[in-house]
Amino acid sequence: MLSVSSVITRPAVLLVAALLLNACSPAADASETDATKSLPPIPPTAAATETPAGADAAVLAAGQALFAQNCAVCHGADGKLGVNGARDLTKSNLNAAGRTYMVVNGSVSGVMPGFKDQLTDEQITQVVAYSLTLK
Ligand code: HEC
């Protein structure tokens, strides 16, 4: 079986590393204290909402159930709840790879836990596919 976490998280790690390196470069404008200001916009191709699993109805149904069990407590069933600073998932620009990285590893702040020990690769693919349908 295709391992989602190994296939998808690696480029995401490289992307994060590249962004961090970019943010730390000496050429960065010293007057920009907000690190996010120096980040380039997400290219349209990276913001595409295709997932490895596509939008298969069975995948989305499984993902919806997983979302209700694991994610809705903070994000809400509709993705908009925002408990403890949880992002509004209907406004997220993250594509499938970015969301998978987030669900596998959790947030840098540690507020959102990683689910790599709770969910299988297949389940993570399903819940990410479902999260991309929240608009
Ligand atoms: C304990 C609360 C909590 C739970 C449970 C939780 N999240 Fe989160 N989530 C957060 C918080 C807080 C953030 C913002 C983290 C940050 O920016 O540091 C976040 C951010 C995200 C993001 C990034 C959005 C963006 O555009 O930056 C995604 C995607 C996401 N969560 C998906 C999920 C999914 C899918 C689940 C279930 C498998 C889940 N979350 C479970 C709290 C939670």
pLDDT, one tens digit per residue, over 51-63 is 555 568 899 999 9
CA of 46 to the centre of ligand 1 (A): 19
Tokens of 37: 């200001």
Tokens of 93: 């620009």
Phi, psi (degrees; rounded to nearest 5) at 44: -55, -35
Q: Hey, is 25 helix, strand or coil?
A: coil
Helix pair 4-24, 96-105: axis angle to 10 deg: 100
pLDDT of 40 reads 65
Burial label for 46, CB within 10 Å (0-12, 13-18, 19+), is middle
CATH (domain of 113): 1.10.760.10
In this prediction, residue 81 has a pLDDT band, given cuts at 50, 70 and 90, of very high
> What is d(CA 103, CA 111) in angstroms, rounded to the nearest whole number?
12
Question: Which residues line ligand 1 at a C-beta cut-off of 6 Å?
Answer: 70-71, 73-75, 84-87, 89, 92-94, 99, 102-103, 107-109, 111-112, 115, 127, 131
Average pLDDT across the chain, whole number: 78
User: What is the per-residue pLDDT across 20-53, written as a single tens digit (0 to 9) for each?
Assistant: 454 444 444 444 455 556 666 655 554 555 555 5
> What is d(CA 130, CA 63) in angstroms, rounded to the nearest whole number?
5
Which DSSP string corresponds to 41-55?
PPPTTTT----TTTT
Mean pLDDT score, 91-110: 95
Residue 52: domain span: 4-131
- For residue 67, the ligand 1 atom closest to its alpha carbon is 37
10 or 91, higher pLDDT:
91
> How many separate domains does the chain show?
1
